[in-house]
Amino acid sequence: MNASFHNATFSDRIWQNHTLLKADFAKQLEIGLIQGKHPTVLARDLRKTWDVSQYQALRLMRTELARVQIDAQMQSYDNAGVTEYTYITCGFGDACPVCRALDGQHFKMADMLPGENAPPMHPNCHCSTSAYMDCSSVEWLKDNEIKSSGGVYGAYNDKNDPDYRKREKIGRDLYTEITNRKKSFEIRAVSKNSGLSIDEVSRIYDHMFVRKHLLSNGTKVSKFDPDYYMAHSWIRVREGKNIQAHDLTMLYHELEEGKIMGESLEVKYEMAHNKAQKKFNYAKELQEYLKTHDA
């Protein structure tokens, strides 16, 4: 930060124009968060205004965006009643030794502190966190049968299943874990392990976790309900461990379903789901799998 540039260091420029820089920087951060602009674009604007190097501007923008995003995550965790979180490195082999040592560790929310046990640990830190869930909480799920009662949407949504409420809660927790991770990292990992393109996985992600749909035979507009089994399929592919045939079928089913529905709210989910099911029958494959396996 103190390297000379045009006869004045970057720190000099900050302190000489502290108030103006703070206001301009806050504006750029707001644009980045609301419009989803890449730090490179924001840094370019910052560099033009303050006449500093691209590297310095980009490093500052990346680091501060990461800090604000972690603050938002902390608020989200608190609102959702999350008590612990997991540290996640960027996952592309370029994590520093400090971040690698923290990868996979979980900490109490009360102790969450950026720079100590949460990102950003250093300038240009790309790491993230996710809500932590004790895997022992799912050990009760040993029933391999799904009682058919005409679920509303998603792979299964069976109110007559005595374990439905437990799966529903865990499904919500897993969806929170998925959507709290950096979207670009999530998509790249699933793409790498599934053979689908980045664009295809991005469309699947938006269809499953982001976009609202015309549900309940056209009487309701909302996102899909979290689904326990679909969450496990997604996570297995993301992690590249123990991937099952029905996990990949789910991705193709959701991609096909999304193509039929498009981005409008004119196509009912049930119609698109049934059409996609004829080509990629995730529900049938899942039922066959559950006859001999847990989720």
| Same domain? 114 vs 192 | no
Asked whether residue 121 falls in the same domain as residue 253, the answer is: no
Whether 6 shows a pLDDT value over 90: the answer reads: no
Comparing C-alpha atoms, which of 51, 45, 49 is closest to residue 20? 49
Same domain as 274, residue 166: yes
Average pLDDT over residues 141-154: 36
Number of domains in the chain: 3
- In the sheet where 106-108 sits, what is the strand order? 106-108, 84-88, 128-131
In a domain, 76, yes or no: no
Residue 295 lies in a domain: no
Instruction: Say whether both 87 and 216 belong to one domain.
Output: no
Statement to judge: residues 169 and 286 lie in one domain? yes
Whether 202 and 247 map to the same domain: the answer is yes
Instruction: Give a yes or no: residue 77 inside a domain.
Output: no
Confidence check: pLDDT of 147 > 50 = no
pLDDT, tens digit, for every residue of 186-205? 999 999 999 999 999 999 99
- pLDDT category at 36 given cuts 50, 70, 90 is low
Q: What is the pTM of this model?
A: 0.53
Residue 166's nearest CA partner among 144, 137, 146 is: 137
In a domain, 75, yes or no: no
Asked, as a colleague might, if the bond just before 120 is cis with ω within 30 of 0, I would say: yes
Whether 169 has a pLDDT exceeding 90, the answer reads: no
Q: Which domain holds residue 211?
A: 136-290
Residue 125 and residue 141 share a domain: no
Do 223 and 161 share a structural domain?
Answer: yes
Residue 46 and residue 59 in one domain = yes
